[in-house]
Every structure is written in C-alpha cells, then in structure tokens.
Amino acid sequence: MSDTRKAYRASLLHSLGDPAELGEHASYEYIADGLLVVEGGKILAMGPASALLPDLAPGVPVRHFEDTLITPGFIDTHIHYPQTGMIGAYGEQLLDWLNTYTFPCERQFQDATHAEDVAGRFLAELLRNGTTTALVFGSVHPESVDALFEAALRLNLRLIAGKVMMDRNAPDYLTDTAQSGYAQSKALIERWHGRGRLHYAVTPRFAPTSTPEQLASAGRLLREHDGLYLHTHLSENREEIQWVKQLFPEREGYLDVYDHHGLVGPRSVFAHGVHLCEDECARLGQAGAAVAFCPTSNLFLGSGLFNLPMAERHKVKVGLGTDVGAGTSFSILQTLNEAYKVMQLQGARLNPFKSLYLATLGGARALDLADRIGSLQPGHEADFVVLDLKATPLLEYRLSQSRSIAETLFVLMTLGDDRVVAHTFAMGQEVHQRDAVASAAELARD
Ligand code: GUN
Ligand code: ZN
C-alpha cells in the first residue's frame, strides 16, 4: 500500500454522459454513502462505503465529510482573468463595454507585478468556487500569461490559457501586430504548453480585432504545434455580427471568417454563439468544435439567449462559461441558476442532471479532456469538490424538504454559490478549505 493513499467518505455524484443522449437516469451515478479513494493525484476507486471500507488497508486515513456531496471539480470553459477587477461595470452592451471599461482595465497588465497580483486573486476565486479547470483569456501582454501559468503551476491545476492576439480596432496601447502576436504566442507555447497540467490556447480576441493576416498566423500556430486550443468569441451581439459582415464581406458569415483561416476544429472553443444560424451550428458539430454557454454574461450585456436545444440537435459540444468580467459570478452554480432561466425564457427546461453534465463532464468534453477530468471514474485526476448541504440556514431548511437527489441538485444550483464549496481538491491536494484561516491558493500567492 502506498502511504499517499487517502479516502474520503461522503455522498458521491458524477455524470456518466449527456442526458440528451443517455436519458436522464442513465446519465449519472449517485452513491448516498460513498467512498472516494485517491492515490498519487488520481482516483483509485469509488463506490459504496460499505463495499470499499472493508478492503481499505488499516493505515489509510479516511476523512468523513458529513452532510456533503462530492462531485467532480467544476469546469469553466470561458473566462477572462484580467477582467477580475471590473465585474459589474454599468450600463453598456458589448462594443461600448469593451471600449469604456475593458480595454483600460486590461492595459494595467503591461505591469508584471499587477498581473501577478491579479493572477493569484483570480485562481483563489476559481478554487473558492469549486472550479478546478478553466479556459482563460489573458491580456495582449505575454507577461499576463506568464503570471497566470506560474501561479497555476504552483497549484498543479489543469488550466488552459493564452495571450490575446489583437492587431486592429483597439487602442494602440493594447495592440500587437500579426508578426509580434505570432512570435509572442510561439514563445509562450514553447515555455508553457505541456508543462505540469498546463495547455496553451491560441487566443485571437474576436474577428473584429484581428486582421486577416493575424487570423492566418493563428492558423499557422495551430498547425505548427500539437494539442493547442483555439479560444475566441463568436456571434455574441447583433451589432458585433453586423460589424464582422462589414469587415469581412467576402466571407459567408461570422464562423466562416474563422473557418477560412483553419481555426475551427476539435480543440476550438467559441464563447457565446448566441446568434448562430442552423448552418453554423451544423458546421461546429461536424468539426467537433465547442461552444461556451455564458448565461450570466449574455444577460448582463443584453446579448441574447443561447439556443441549447439547437446545439444539441447538431451535436455541438457545449460547456459553461462564467465569462467574468462580463459575467457576474465566478460560481458555476450561479451560472447554472441563470442558465436555467435562459432556458425558461425560451420555453425550454434545463434538468439538473444536464446542468451537472455541463458543469463537469460536458465541460471536459468541450475541452477535449474527458479522459482525465470531469468525472470520478478511477484513473481520472482527483479534481473534486465537497459541497456543504448545510452551508446556509435557507439551504439547510430547503434541503430538509428534498425527496430526491434530483431535487437536492436543483436546489443547490439555484441557491448555491461559493458558500457551499467547503473543500476543493486538485490532483488530490486540498487547494481550498472554506473555513480555513488562509487557503492554499492564498499561500501560493505569497
Ligand atoms: N468579445 C470580444 N472581447 C470580449 C470580452 O472581453 N468579453 C466578452 N464578453 N465578449 C468579447
Ligand atoms: Zn469573453
């Protein structure tokens, strides 16, 4: 027996597949009194405590978390770390919001000390909210990505990030060129991609802020290196879409701008896709590309309502994005709360097991990482959260009336936020403990 072996006793819940494909009941596994055995950062076994405890060697420590639910760590498929300090910026829709608030805020990341400070706060916030993997926009400054990856490496997180490429239609202080954007991205790829659990995403901000030359250079980076991601925005706002039509009249539509440059593939993640047409959805599905559904952002900026059923029809991979700072919460639970309402406004439902799927395994599939994260299956990386079912008086009272795991899950997603995340584990290490004086993430910042 290895002395690194540890066991956690709690209710266990994870997703086995998309309820849209498997049906609700076959899509999850719930063990009311379960045991999760972890060794060397990986899940070694999971199952009923009654079955696993008798075989557990006597020296293996068992932590018993009463009145809790363990799920896989949450996965945020679209977020901007430089926008941590500007959540809740008043009054504008996308394009004015970018010019008025976002660009001046991102300017500060030319200062590496500022970037290091915000990177630490940002990762601590992810972990406080139970998010163990995220696909993250940096700023245009390569130093911003160095700061984030350095902090993520210290915490041994599975994290994907990239430097923004932006060579037009933005202030001079925030633009690169097709050549410098390519060279800086390449240097970051060589420095970080594949180190620890880190991956690099080629990150053109969105079609309006890149010349065709820059988009072509993004395609070249993807062709020149294995396993990179492509991360950008797509069809978020009606004015934005009109602007793309004016800037790229020779292309068939917004998605085609990216497609033309070889940017649409199985590791491409497009944030929003609120106003996609059927043909674009079909193309995303055929390419194996993913959309990050960002409900708090789409409501906050008045962008529109994402059509999840259309994405499902075309088998488009979908994950959830908080899209902070246009999004209004780091919490994937709160993101699900708003996702439910976005579906309600379209006369549709988001059942709690679909929500669980989007927050975990669906997010992992969107990021092409489902063989490593997103589930509690043995062999997967031990990224998991312990959710406190008595975190607030209201939650405790409401859940005392619950008659099923479906109801408990739905209420958690409606009332829950960072307060319910009692512990967060990444690669088997506790990286957040709600009730501790200082979290591991805070310590990693110092
Ligand atoms: N489109 C281009 N840049 C951004 C951004 O920073 N946030 C959002 N929500 N959309 C964008
Ligand atoms: Zn965004």
Q: Is the pLDDT of residue 86 over 80?
A: yes
Cβ–ligand 1 distance for 136 under 6 Å, the answer: no
Confidence of residue 1 (pLDDT cuts 50, 70, 90): very low
Say what angle helices 332-344 and 352-359 make with each other, to 10 degrees.
130
What atom in ligand 1 is closest to the CA of residue 137?
Answer: 6
Q: Is the CB of 297 under 6 A from ligand 1?
A: yes
Angle 420-87-419 from CA coordinates, rounded to 5°: 10
What is the band of 407 on the pLDDT scale with cuts at 50, 70, 90? very high
Task: Give Cβ neighbours of residue 83 (< 8 Å, ≥ 6 apart).
Answer: 102, 105, 106, 324, 325, 326
Pick the residue whose CA is nearest to atom 3 on ligand 1.
Answer: 205
Signed CA dihedral, 347, 299, 168, 117: sign only = negative
Q: How far apart are CA 281 and CA 222, in angstroms?
A: 22
* Ligand 1 neighbour 140 (Cβ under 6 A): no
Asked if residue 205 has its Cβ within 6 Å of ligand 1, the reply is yes
Residues in Cβ contact with 71 at an 8 Å cutoff, skipping those fewer than 6 apart? 12, 13, 14, 356, 360, 376, 384, 385, 387
Q: Say if residues 171 and 139 touch (Cβ distance below 8 Å).
A: no
When pLDDT is averaged across residues 435-439 and rounded to a whole number, the result is 78
- Give residue 29's region: left, alpha or beta (phi > 0; psi -120 to 50): beta
For atom 11 of ligand 1, the residue with the nearest CA is 233
Beta strand spans in 27-183 (E): 28-39, 42-48, 62-72, 74-80, 131-137, 158-162, 164-165
Asked if residue 305 lies in contact with residue 298, where contact means CB atoms within 8 angstroms, the answer is yes
The angle, 0 to 180 degrees and rounded to 10, between the axes of the packed helices 142-154 and 112-128 is 40
Atom of ligand 1 at shortest distance to CA of 80?
A: 6
* Average pLDDT of span 30-39: 98
For residue 87, the CA-to-ligand 2 centroid distance in Å is 12
Q: Is the pLDDT of residue 441 over 80?
A: no
- Pairwise CA distance, residues 110 & 140, whole Å: 8
pLDDT at residue 120 greater than cutoff 90: yes
Residue 233 Cα to ligand 1 middle (Å): 7
Ligand 1 center to residue 79 CA distance, Å? 10
SS3 breakdown of the chain: % helix, strand, coil, rounded to 5? 45, 25, 35
* Structure-block tokens of residue 344: 């309600």
Q: Indicate which atom in ligand 1 lies nearest the CA of residue 206.
A: 2
pLDDT per residue as tens digits for the range 257-297: 999 999 999 999 999 999 999 999 999 999 999 999 999 99
CA distances to 73, 149, 306 from 291, rounded to whole Å, are 20, 24, 10
Mean pLDDT of the chain: 97
Q: How far is the CA of 120 from the centre of ligand 2 (A)?
A: 20
369 lines ligand 1 (CB under 6 A): no
Question: Helices 405-415 and 332-344 sit at what angle, rounded to 10 degrees?
Answer: 100
Structure tokens belonging to residue 314: 């075309």
CB atoms within 10 A of CB 394: 10
Between CA 237 and CA 312 the distance in angstroms is 21
Residue 442 has pLDDT above 80, yes or no: no
Of how many residues is the chain composed? 446
Q: Which ligand is nearest to the CA of 97?
A: 1
Per-residue tokens: 119: 């990177």
**Taking 70 as the threshold, does the pLDDT of residue 56 lie above it?**
yes
* pLDDT higher than threshold 90 for residue 185: yes
Q: Does the bond joining 91 to the residue before it have cis omega, within 30 degrees of 0? A: no
Q: For a pocket test of ligand 1, which of 81, 83, 84, 102 has the largest count of ligand atoms closer than 8 A to its C-beta?
A: 102
Query: So what's the pLDDT on residue 443?
Result: 61
Q: Which residues on adjacent β-strands are paired with residue 320?
A: 293
DSSP state of 163: -
Q: Compute, in angstroms, the gap from residue 30 CA to the centroid of ligand 1.
A: 37
* The two three-digit tokens of residue 125, written as one number: 């916030």
From the list 77, 226, 81, the residue with the least C-alpha distance to 147 is: 81
Decide if pLDDT at 446 tops 60. Answer: no
Distance 94 CA to ligand 1 centre (A): 7
Tell me the pTM.
0.98
Helix (H, G, I), strand (E, B) or coil at 146: helix
Angle at 264 between CA 254 and CA 267, to 5 degrees: 135
Residue 445 scores a pLDDT above 70: no
Ligand number, closest to the Cα atom of 98: 1
Model confidence at 3, pLDDT cuts 50, 70, 90, reads low
Continuous H helices in 26-111: 49-52, 94-97, 103-107
What is the number of the ligand 1 atom nearest to the C-alpha of 240? 1
Give the C-alpha separation, 248 to 96, whole Å.
Answer: 21
Helices (H), 307-416: 308-313, 332-344, 352-359, 361-366, 393-399, 405-415
Residue with tokens 């350095």: 150
Residue among 76, 78, 92, 94 whose CB has most ligand 1 atoms within 8 A, to mutate = 94
Residue that has been written with the tokens 């509690």 in this structure: 376
Distances (CA, A) of 313 to 230, 266, 270: 23, 18, 18
- Return d(Cα 19, Cα 152) in angstroms, integer: 32
CA of 348 to the centre of ligand 1 (A): 27
CA of 186 to the centre of ligand 1 (A): 23
Residues 195-254 have pLDDT tens digits of 999 999 999 999 999 999 999 999 999 999 999 999 999 999 999 999 999 999 999 999
Beta strands 28-39; 42-48: pairing state: antiparallel
